Amino acid sequence: MRVIYTLWLRQVKRFFRARSRIIGAIGQPLLFLIALGYGIGSIYKTAGGGSYIDFLVPGIMAQTVLFAAMFYGAMIMFDKQFGFLKETLVAPVSRTKIMLGGALGGATTATLQGLLVFLISLCLGFRPQHWALVPLAIIILGLLAVAIASFSSGIGSFVQDMQGFQAINQFLVFPLYFLSGALYPLQHVPDWLRIVAEINPMSYAVDAMRDTLIGQTHFGLLKDLVVLLVAVVVMVTFGAYRFRHIEA
Amino acid sequence: MALKPAISVSHLTKRFGDFTAVDDVSFTVKEGELFALLGPNGAGKSTTIKMLTTLLQPSGGELHLNGHDVTKAQDAARKSFGIVFQDPSVDTEMTAYENMELHAALYNVRGSETKERIQTLLELVELWDRKDTLVKNYSGGMKRRLEIARGLLHHPKVLFLDEPTLGLDTQTRNLLWDYVKRLSREEGMTVFFTTHYLEEAEAVADRIAIIDHGHLIALGTTKQLARQTGTKSLEAAYLELTGKTVRDEAAKPGDEWRARRRARMMK
């Protein structure tokens, strides 16, 4: 436990020391929220969809967590590049614990960023349907963060350099995001897109967020949570497996 | 009195594809000994250290550290050594003290002992005044000293130093070897190091091994190596044994093989 806690703390400390990272992490979702929210909002309303900003906020929170948790893999690349990774690899501790400590730290900072977006949305006039469900929404963000941070540690474990990581990151993250229903309702999309979205685990996290915060759901909360939990187990296993096989 | 070996290596081999980086190397290092591994760039020094420190799996042969089989009882072996890598491996976004604390957690140094030990070691390497400075604000020499203090935190029986004095000024180098010799004397710690500075090896090491093209080509005291080659100094003996051609070094073990494979695929 001490190892996991110490490595978790390292990620959290480093996050709070890097102010630029916090600003960067908030800037992008804020841009999405304002540009899309106000840009598309009026058409969305005319089409009978209700408030687009309300619809968008849960998706943007999930997006923030997705991007921020994927960044944890980049931290592993930095640790490789600046040598710190070797310090942990020769330590008499199971690699699974090392991977878990870091990934949980990365997941914590990602969840915090998602919450920051939530606070900003409140300033923009967003109100959750039931305040009592907000803690559940935070847990959902946390689960998503753990799954994605573990996934990105798995990727970070076998990619050799930052360029390679960025390429894979872009290649994976954008489809996960744009094909998840974060930006549009899945009810009226063409069949092929709906099928792709149904395969995408990210859709279930977005849907769970939307259900808890604004009471709209496509799959139903139970199904969302089951898929999310399965994703956490699969991703942690994947991340731990890849991390165990790093050779320096 | 026969001491049990601190390090025993027999028929150690590492292949990357069809390139053999370390080829059937055997030697033992006695407890408390200061042992230098020398060789030109790309000879297999770092690959050997990486296998001894569990960072690379050998392709063949056996490795024992303080009686622990390095490939089978990895964690027991890992507890028993400390290492200062060729490239820095401290977290530069944390303070020196935080780096030490993290190491104490990784090696499960008891909480009550941790504070005292960290203070003793940081005082030894003269960094106690700067313990709360982020390491990114340290000079190269300070980082190196911190890494040595960190490597010693968990009372290792064997200390590995992979080119520890690379890029350091003469004062820092002398200081560093003074610590290392003192610790080896006082705590009976075995020291295994690589260096390109032959005068360092001559001054510090009890015995010297020379490796080239993955083969162990000589092993003995400075005097024995000089006698064996009919030369007068370690440098002359070294050049006699390894020749005068300049070698290229791959950044990481295996890179050379990867580059060759890539070149082959391009044809």
> In the prediction, which pLDDT does B1 show?
43
**Which chain A residue has its CA at the smallest distance from B50's CA?**
A248
Structure letter (DSSP) for residue B219 = E
* Residue B251 banded pLDDT, cuts 50, 70, 90: low
**Could you tell me if B207 lies within 8 Å of chain A, comparing CB atoms?**
no
Contact A90 B90 (CB under 8 A): no
Q: Please give the helix or strand (H or E) that residue B100 lies within, else none.
A: helix B96-106
> In the prediction, which pLDDT does B186 show?
87
> In the prediction, which pLDDT does B254 show?
62
More confident residue, B247 or B67: B67
> In the prediction, which pLDDT does B237 show?
87
Q: Exposure string (b/e) for B118-130, b if CB count within 10 Å is 16 or more?
A: beebbebbebbeb
Is residue B211 scored above 50 in pLDDT?
Answer: yes
pLDDT tens figures, B214-245: 999 999 998 898 888 888 888 888 888 888 77
Q: Which residues of chain A have pLDDT under 50?
A: none
**Could you tell me if A88 lies within 8 Å of chain B, comparing CB atoms?**
yes
Instruction: Name the pTM for this structure.
Output: 0.87
Torsion, Cα of B89, B91, B92, B96 (10° steps): -100
Chain A residues near residue B50 by CB distance under 8 angstroms: 248
CATH value of B5-80+156-266 in 3.40.50.300, 3.40.710.10, 3.90.110.10, 3.40.50.720? 3.40.50.300
Query: How many interchain CB pairs under 8 A, A with B?
Result: 74
> In the prediction, which pLDDT does B261 show?
63
Average pLDDT over residues B116-121: 94
Of A79, A89, A93, the CB nearest to B55: A89
pLDDT tens figures, A53-86: 999 999 999 999 999 999 999 999 999 988 899 9
Chain A residues near residue B135 by CB distance under 8 angstroms: none
Contact B103 A87 (CB under 8 A): yes
Beta strand pairing status for B215-220 and B207-212?
antiparallel
Please state, as a whole number, how many other Cβ atoms lie within 10 Å of the Cβ of residue A210: 27
> In the prediction, which pLDDT does B248 show?
66
Average pLDDT over residues B152-175: 88
More confident residue, B265 or B60: B60
Contact A92 B55 (CB under 8 A): no
Task: State the Cα–Cα distance between residues A202 and A208, nearest whole angstrom.
Answer: 10
> In the prediction, which pLDDT does B241 show?
87
> Could you tell me the residue ranges of all domains in chain B?
5-80+156-266, 95-154
Contact B87 A83 (CB under 8 A): yes
